[in-house]
Structure 1
Amino acid sequence: MTPRTTRRTDAHPDLTRPDAGAPLFSTWRVGTPERQQATVEAIAATWERRPWPTPALLGYHVYTGYDGTTLMHHSQWASEADYEAFVKTQRQERVDEIDTLVPGIERLGLDRYRRYRSRERAAGDTRVPGLVVAVRIDFEPGAAERRTDWIGEVLRALAGTPDDHRGLISAHFHLSTDGTHVLNYAEWESEPAYDAVLAAPGEGIGDGGEQWERVRTYPAVKGFTSTRYRHAVGLLPA
């Protein structure tokens, strides 16, 4: 079989793909907006010069942080075993080339997940996300089983206040495989739409009503960390 080539895309990933059994997220610190863009180009060029590594990699997307210093990486794999096979045979040569083009990248770690539930895009909604917000929700030690209940509380709150979240296109809740946290990958129409929700009552979480108060004060939640990103480039098999 002839290896497939690699192509770039501006399209955002479909987080609900049923064949994405192992969604992975990682963060790199590169220092400046100029180095952000240089690193995005180095990643894309490095991958385009090589065949697509395996059909088990469904897509690879890179995002630039609004902080001007970081990149978020999201790859969709059929399984963790497929990713481990890639690491053993093909990852290092790509890393070495990128590091030659942009020296001094700080890799802050890789997290492994399973997507649990989503507040999916409404039927007929064709908006392109202008903002992606990655929200990490950390839980107390030993509280891994409480994460799914907390996600249920959030989805019920969203369903109860749809008019207050018109700028929210979708929200995808992932459980970390180490049991420590939840990652919410949220697609927003724009940064102003997201800021409007943060400015509403409720300390940045919902409208301050009873349902959102249960989300905010849920037992075993240690804290929330949110980071804003722009989709920079997607890489897919041609």
Structure 2
Amino acid sequence: MTLPELPSFVHGRKDIDGFTLYRTGGMADAGTPVGCVVLVTIDTDSEATAKAWIDSVFVALASEPKPPAGGISAAFHIRDDGKQVINYAEWRSAEDHIHALSDGEGVGSHTADWRRVQNFPGVGQGGFVRYQPLAKVQAEVE
């Protein structure tokens, strides 16, 4: 599977133009090689909603009985106007991300914490795109 390069406004896991890093977390060993970056975008009605929703994602991740194989880390950024969230999610491979979504419900088990995330007031449906990791793109340039 050939993945596109990250858009030019993304400079790294912690640096996205027009967005402020709010919260990060890891799901795997720090040394796990990143094979795919997934940018997940979620629309929100305010910065307070964005922060509360991100916090609820971390509650759901902490209580996850079966973490998806291949998930490495997540870095949640809030757009400067507070009306959108980008999760810069690192995965071992695109195939691992595809498998994590295979039940059609998104990443996460069927728990009350994940249902809260999925039905959070003031949060609209989002989308995602898979990309090559930045390190791979930089290595090809050098």
Contact 2:39 2:87 in 1 (8 A): yes
Aligned-partner residue type, residue 175 of structure 1: I
Contact 1:144 1:179 in 2 (8 A): yes
Q: Deviations over 1:164-184 (max 9, x none)?
A: 223110000001112111110
Q: Runs of 4 or more off by more than 6 Å in structure 1?
A: none
Question: What RMSD, in angstroms, separates the aligned Cα atoms of the two structures?
Answer: 2.5
Normalised TM-score (structure 1): 0.50
Aligned to 1:148: 51
Separation in 2 of the partners of 1:211 and 1:219?
A: 14
Q: Where do residues 1-238 of structure 1 align in structure 2 (5 Å cutoff)?
A: 65=4, 71-73=6-8, 74-75=10-11, 111-120=17-26, 122=28, 124-140=29-45, 143-161=46-64, 163-200=66-103, 203-231=105-133, 232-234=136-138
For this pair of structures, how many residues does the alignment match? 133
Separation in 2 of the partners of 1:206 and 1:215?
A: 10
Aligned-partner residue type, residue 138 of structure 2: G
Normalised TM-score (structure 2): 0.81
Contact 1:131 1:228 in 2 (8 A): yes
Aligned to 1:88: none
Q: 1:71 to 1:185 in 2, by over 3 A?
A: closer
Which blocks of at least 5 consecutive residues in structure 2 are unaligned?
none
Q: 1:160 to 1:144 in 2, by over 3 A?
A: same
SS in 2 for 1:199: coil
Q: 1:211 to 1:121 in 2, by over 3 A?
A: closer
Q: Deviations over 1:31-52 (max 9, x none)?
A: xx8xxxxxxxxxxxxxxxxxxx
Whose helix fraction is larger, Structure 1's or Structure 2's?
1
Offset, 1:208: 2.1
Higher Cα radius of gyration: 1
The percentage of aligned residue pairs carrying the same residue is 34
Separation in 1 of the partners of 2:75 and 2:123?
A: 18
Contact 1:205 1:216 in 2 (8 A): no
Which blocks of at least 5 consecutive residues in structure 1 are unaligned?
1-32, 34-63, 77-109
Contact 1:113 1:177 in 2 (8 A): yes
Offset, 1:146: 1.1
